[in-house]
Amino acid sequence: MSQTWLTTSASALGRGIERGEIDPVELTETYLAAIDVNPFADRIYARTTPDRARAEAHAAAARASAGTRRSLLDGVPISWKDLFDTAGVATEAGTALLKGRIPTKDARVLENASQAGLICLGKTHMTELAFSGLGLNPITATPPCVNDHGAVSGGSSSGAATSVAFGLAAAGIGSDTGGSVRIPSAWNDLVGLKTTSGRLSLEGVVPLATKFDTVGPLCRSVEDAAQLLAVMEGGKVADLSGATLEGVHLAVLNTIALDDLRSDPARGFEQAVAKLAEAGAKITHIDLAEVAEAMAMSAVLFAPEGYAVWGDLIEANPDLMFDRVRVRFESGRDVSAIDYIAASKALDEYRARYAASTAGYDAVILPSAPIMPPNAARLLSEPEFFDAENLLALRNTRIGNLMGLTALTLPTGVPSTGIILQTGPGTEERLLRLGAAAHQALT
């Protein structure tokens, strides 16, 4: 068994299987063995699915031998955030409120991935009901950041990111409502794709705020992100060949996104922008009032959706939740329908203005997060610190959710910092081509 497989991209593993150099069964056993011995495994995986993984691996090996592989990633083992339904396996979304919840069928995106031959290693820990960007969960488990084991890994797809960063999955699948794919990807030096709302099915996905909920991969390369998007959608893989930054026009978003950056995120972003310019991109700074106006309405838009879904269950069992997450849900309780509808209508206007203001640029870029991963013990002991850091963690990523965009975070080279490229809704293929060229320039 080769330990180098544990740090190899999912696409490269798939090519190894295609060439007959990697046996899917041996590959899967390598990952299962790594999970067994990793000291953080119980903080990363909520539960593993070894029987399913082995059965899928044997089927993938048979297809490889017969020359009937279903996709490049056929036979590659990945992890799934614990809000994707898995038939016969508990799916609890990181909360005691859903303890013992066992779905009877797979989520649609998991079903599609399985049909393409991907292997399910298990379900990863997450923030309760996906409503925090930090990844702190004293109810189930808090995965550590790969660069600082005393710090949180980012949320809410905390285990999805760390399963990859610690070499316990070739890629992870998470969800992003306000930054939950991009924050843990950035803090663990991964590539993370936030898809356009509605692009990937939410059937069988435990909801938070369906107006903003999206599904996306956390992985080692932009190619992996493109492959995973295609298999979850059951569609065609984006063509990344010949991607270049020559002649590309990128806009740095000044509004809010550059405010109060801490030293490492600022350094990482500045270095990344310089490298993109060296690779041929033209860089322009822009100010967008509509971003500030939309951000001011966040509390009226996100929390009421979450409370509408989970309020009755939370009110019936308040002591089962971590209080800082429960308070976030409860903040949506008293928002009036009039205010919510007015904010939703205004958001449509802001989105149209944003689209018009950015139409002349190939992508808008910004730091993935203004802060570094905070210390887990301090977050747990200081409620005001938790609240302040959580809002800061999600500040920049939330812009993409509010504007209805697709967005890609890439590692800058400074540990636990990322740069986001975001483009208009439904433009994942164009974004991934830009991202492939940008990632090459940054590495």
Sheet with 119-124: strands ordered across: 45-48, 119-124, 77-81, 172-176, 214-219, 191-194, 406-411, 418-423, 363-367, 249-253, 282-286
Q: Give the torsion sign (CA, 320, 324, 329, 330).
A: positive
Query: Are 71 and 122 found together in one domain?
Result: yes
Query: Are 110 and 78 found together in one domain?
Result: yes
**Which three-class secondary structure state does DSSP give residue 53?**
helix
Tokens in use for 318? 């308040």
Task: Assess whether 2 carries a catalytic annotation.
Answer: no
Within a domain: residue 198? yes
Provide the strand spans (E) within 27-147.
45-48, 77-81, 119-124, 144-145
Within a domain: residue 97? yes
Query: Are 164 and 222 found together in one domain?
Result: yes
Query: Are 93 and 126 found together in one domain?
Result: yes
Query: Are 192 and 147 found together in one domain?
Result: yes
DSSP string, 71-98: STTTT-EEEEETTB-BTTB---TT-GGG
Within a domain: residue 327? no
Q: How far apart are CA 144 and CA 27, in angstroms?
A: 25
Query: Are 170 and 259 found together in one domain?
Result: no
Q: According to the model, what pLDDT value does residue 153 have?
A: 98
* Host domain of residue 84: 3-233
Q: What is the pLDDT of residues 24-63, one digit of tens each?
A: 999 999 999 999 999 999 999 999 999 999 999 999 999 9
- Provide CB contacts within 8 A for 147, sequence distance 6+: 187, 188, 189, 373, 415, 416
Please name the residue that has the structure tokens 């990633």: 73
Other residues' Cβ atoms within 10 Å of the Cβ of residue 287: 11
Q: How far apart are CA 278 and CA 18, in angstroms?
A: 36
- Picking from 233, 261, 281, the residue at the C-terminal end of a domain is 233
Given 11, 79, 81, 416, the catalytic residue:
81
Query: Are 351 and 385 found together in one domain?
Result: yes
Q: How far apart are CA 76 and CA 60, in angstroms?
A: 9
Residue-level length of the chain: 443
Cα 116 to chain centroid distance, Å, stands at 21
Given 156, 158, 163, 185, the catalytic residue:
156
pLDDT string in tens for the chain (443-residue length)? 588 999 999 999 999 999 999 999 999 999 999 999 999 999 999 999 999 999 999 999 999 999 999 999 999 999 999 999 999 999 999 999 999 999 999 999 999 999 999 999 999 999 999 999 999 999 999 999 999 999 999 999 999 999 999 999 999 999 999 999 999 999 999 999 999 999 999 999 999 999 999 999 999 999 999 999 999 999 999 999 999 999 999 999 999 999 999 999 999 999 999 999 999 999 999 999 999 999 999 999 999 999 999 999 999 999 999 999 999 999 999 999 999 999 999 999 999 999 999 999 999 999 999 999 999 999 999 999 999 999 999 999 999 999 999 999 999 999 999 999 999 999 999 999 999 999 999 99
Query: Strand 119-124 vs strand 77-81: parallel, antiparallel, or unpaired?
Result: parallel
Q: According to the model, what pLDDT value does residue 252 have?
A: 99
Tell me the three-class secondary structure of 145-160, residue by residue.
ECCEEEEECCCCCHHH
Query: Are 11 and 109 found together in one domain?
Result: yes
Task: Assess whether 81 carries a catalytic annotation.
Answer: yes
> Average pLDDT, whole number, for the chain?
98
Domain count, the chain: 2
Within a domain: residue 336? no
Q: According to the model, what pLDDT value does residue 372 have?
A: 98
Q: Are 395 and 387 in contact (CB under 8 A)?
A: no
The pairs formed by 387-395 with CB atoms below 8 angstroms and a separation of 24 or more are 387/324, 389/134, 390/132, 390/133, 390/134, 390/324, 390/328, 392/260, 393/133, 393/134, 393/154, 393/179, 393/183, 393/369, 394/133, 394/178, 394/179, 394/183, 395/256, 395/257, 395/295, 395/369, 395/370
Query: Are 276 and 172 found together in one domain?
Result: no
Within a domain: residue 67? yes
Q: Which of 194, 201, 223 is nearest to 71 (CA)?
A: 223
Within a domain: residue 180? yes
Q: How far apart are CA 178 and CA 402, in angstroms?
A: 8
Residue 363: give its domain's CATH number. Answer: 3.90.1300.10
- Picking from 207, 233, 259, the residue at the C-terminal end of a domain is 233
Query: Are 163 and 22 found together in one domain?
Result: yes
- Picking from 233, 263, 297, the residue at the C-terminal end of a domain is 233
300-to-305, 328, 337 alpha-carbon distances in Å: 9, 12, 10
Q: How far apart are CA 182 and CA 257, in angstroms?
A: 15
Cα distance from N-terminal residue to C-terminal residue, the chain: 28
Task: Assess whether 156 carries a catalytic annotation.
Answer: yes
Within a domain: residue 72? yes
Q: How far apart are CA 78 and CA 130, in angstroms?
A: 20
Q: According to the model, what pLDDT value does residue 1 have?
A: 53
Query: Are 284 and 208 found together in one domain?
Result: no
- Provide CB contacts within 8 A for 207, sequence distance 6+: 213, 309
Within a domain: residue 305? no
Q: Determine which helix (DSSP H) or strand (DSSP E) holds 366, and give its type and residue range.
A: strand 363-367
Tokens in use for 207? 């909801």
Given 79, 180, 221, 416, the catalytic residue:
180
Q: How far apart are CA 405 and CA 368, in angstroms?
A: 14
Q: How far apart are CA 193 and CA 422, in angstroms?
A: 10
Q: Determine which helix (DSSP H) or strand (DSSP E) holds 216, and give its type and residue range.
A: strand 214-219
Tokens in use for 172? 């992870």
Query: Are 390 and 359 found together in one domain?
Result: yes
